[in-house]
Amino acid sequence: MAKTLEERGYPIIDVHGHQGNLKRLSDGSPGMLPPVTKQQIALEKYFRHHELTTEQLLETLPTEEEMRETFRKYGVYFCPAAWTAPTGQGEIGQTNDYIYNLWQRHRGICLGFWGCVDPWMGEEALSEAERCLRDLKALGIKFQQASQKFHLSDHRFYPLWDLIASYNGFVQWHGGYTGVGTGMPGGGGIKILEYTNPIDVDNVAADFPKLRIILMHTCDPFTEAAELVCMHKGNVYRETSGALPRYIPERMIHDINTRLRTKFMFGSEYPYFRLVDNILDGWEKDVTFRPGIEELFFYKNALNILGDRFENAGADLSPWKGLI
């Protein structure tokens, strides 16, 4: 069993998760699902061999209270992400206001939130991204290119990157394989390699040197390319959500411990993976850290990289200052 905050002796910052995936909110209303409902139902059938309705899928998720107490007990401060894809998937998904309000209800354990816009919405996407950054104080904007079906380096979307950079915000971009659509005929229409190659990140990072980018996940099968882009581009960072620790490529573990030791941050992908049994316990049992690396990875890098955005969101970082 993973160590609690008291047993571990230091807090953890989770820079990427889906804490809004909840069967029931604190007011008793149902939670919102991401914009990939049919793929999630298919994933349940693929892995657990049973078919669910949307209502039954919600019932597999934690309640808001269960989520909050788990993160509190284990001392994990989280940053939930919104997710929308009306053009690519025909679903609105989890709105920015829904995730913003979740953050507001849990400011003691939640350091901020990631907005999301559909890049195909043109001026509407620009307006919503600006509202998130200016009015809602989002940490940045998250995109899932495979479900939203777009290339980051397509110049039609460059006004978005320019806008986000102008607010000193971050972008979170999906890298490599996604579990969305696994086992479905044609992968549920999800093209797992077409839109997720880090070459797009390399191009945009070069064209927008003031845009701060977090390239997410293991980026399989582009792991080596992702690490090289991160090493080469000072405005590109990495995080580790989306895979059980025992399946994270050795190349990533090596770079976490060595040349990218100040650029990697912890991400959980909760609740797609159970925070305690799958993620925290896995990092303790299946990964070996060199001396001094563990705390860099679990919270110090996030404070150093995202600290100005946490403070812009109103987070009180004074208790953390002595830990860096």
Is residue 290 within 8 Å of residue 88, measured between CB atoms?
A: no
Q: Please report the pLDDT score of residue 46 as a whole number.
A: 67
* Domains of the chain, earliest start first: 11-310 (3.20.20.140)
Q: Which two tokens stand for residue 308?
A: 């100005």
Q: What is the pLDDT of residue 48?
A: 66
CA distances to 152, 239, 274 from 200, in Å: 6, 17, 31
Looking at residue 16, what is its pLDDT? 98
Instruction: Write the Ramachandran bin of 117: left for phi over 0, alpha for psi from -120 to 50, otherwise beta.
Output: beta
The tokens of 124 are what? 């509407």
**Is the four-CA dihedral 86, 88, 94, 95 of positive or negative sign?**
negative
In three-state secondary structure terms, 152 is coil
pLDDT of residue 225: 98
Contact 168, 138 (CB under 8 A): no
Q: What local confidence, expressed as pLDDT, does residue 47 receive?
A: 61
Cite the DSSP H helix spans in the chain: 5-8, 37-48, 54-59, 64-73, 86-89, 96-105, 123-134, 145-148, 158-166, 199-207, 223-232, 250-257, 281-286, 293-295, 301-312
Q: Estimate the crossing angle of helix 199-207 against helix 158-166, to 10 degrees.
A: 60
- Enter the tokens of residue 53: 């309705």
pTM of the model: 0.96
- CA distance to 39, 147, 262, 294, 295, per residue, from 178 (Å): 11, 9, 26, 26, 28
The per-residue pLDDT string of the chain (324 residues; one tens digit each, 9 = 90 and over) reads 899 999 999 999 999 999 999 999 999 999 999 988 888 888 777 666 678 888 888 888 999 999 999 999 999 999 999 999 999 999 999 999 999 999 999 999 999 999 999 999 999 999 999 999 999 999 999 999 999 999 999 999 999 999 999 999 999 999 999 989 888 899 999 999 999 999 999 999 999 999 999 999 999 999 999 999 999 999 999 999 999 999 999 999 999 999 999 999 999 999 999 999 999 999 999 999 999 999 999 999 999 999 999 999 999 998 887 776
Please name the residues in contact with 108: beta carbons below 8 A apart, sequence gap of 6 or more: none
